[in-house]
Amino acid sequence: MDDDAEVTFPQNETSPSHSSDARDGNNVLELLRALAISTFNSQDQPKSDERECLLKALYALCISSPGVVDLCISEGVIETVLRMLNSHPHSQSSASDDMATWMMENEKAIALLQVLTSSSRDSLTATLNQSSLLITTLGKILLRVSETCTDLVITILTMLCRHPSAAALAFCQAVSGTAIPSKLVIVLQVSSNDTTKQKAGTLLRVLGQRNKKLEQP
C-alpha cells in the first residue's frame, strides 16, 4: 500500500428500520450521558469496570450502524473519550486487578476512537478538530499502556495524517514536533508484534512525506 494513499471508508449496505434507529439513538444518548458523567463529574464517577462496559456498548452500536456513529460525533463523544483518557494516569497500578481493569478500559476507549475516526470523512474531520487534545492524549498512551493500545494509536495517527486536507498537513507537522516520532522509533526496536512495527515504519514515512510537502514553495 502506498504510504501516501488516501484513507477509504466503509460503505453502508443496509438500511435499518426507523424503529431500530430510534431505539439505537435512545440507547446511545443514555450511554453518552453516563460516559460524560464518568468523565466530567468527579463527584459521581462509576468504577472503571462500569466505564469499560459503557465503552464496550458504544463500540458495539457504532460498528453496527453508521447512523450511531453520526449521533456520537454530533454529541461530542470524541472529546469526551479523549478527556477521559487524558484524565487518567497512564502508568500501571501496583495492584494486578486494578492494572488489568485500567488496561482494558484504555483499550476499549482507543478502539472506540479508532472506529469513530475510520467511519467516514466527516468523523475523521471531527477528530482532526480535536487535534491538540488528540496529540497530547495519544502521545501519552503510546508505549505506556499495552501493545494493543500502541497499535491502535498508530493506526489512528496514520489515518489522520493521510487525510488529503490542509488540516491533516498541519496535524502531521504538530505530531512531528512532539515525542511521538521518537517513540515510533522505539516501537521499531522493542515491539514483539511485526504488524505493529510495520505500522510504525509506515507512519514515520508518512510524517516525512507530509512534512516535505509543507517545505515545498
List, for residues 97-134, the tens digit of each pLDDT value: 577 888 888 999 999 999 999 888 888 888 999 999 99
Q: What is the pLDDT of residues 162-190, one digit of tens each?
A: 988 889 999 999 999 999 999 999 999 99
Q: Where are the domains of the chain?
A: 18-88+95-120, 130-217
Region 135-164: what's the mean pLDDT? 93
CA 182, CA 175: separation in Å to the nearest integer?
A: 11
pLDDT at 17: 46
pLDDT at 206 over 60: yes
| pLDDT number for residue 67 | 86
106 C-beta neighbours (distance < 10 Å), count: 24
pLDDT, position 112? 95
Model confidence, pTM: 0.82
Q: Is the pLDDT of residue 25 over 90?
A: no
Query: What is each CA distance from 57 to 29, 31, 144, 177, in whole angstroms?
Result: 12, 8, 25, 36
Q: How many helices (H) and strands (E) are present in the chain, helices listed first?
A: 11, 0
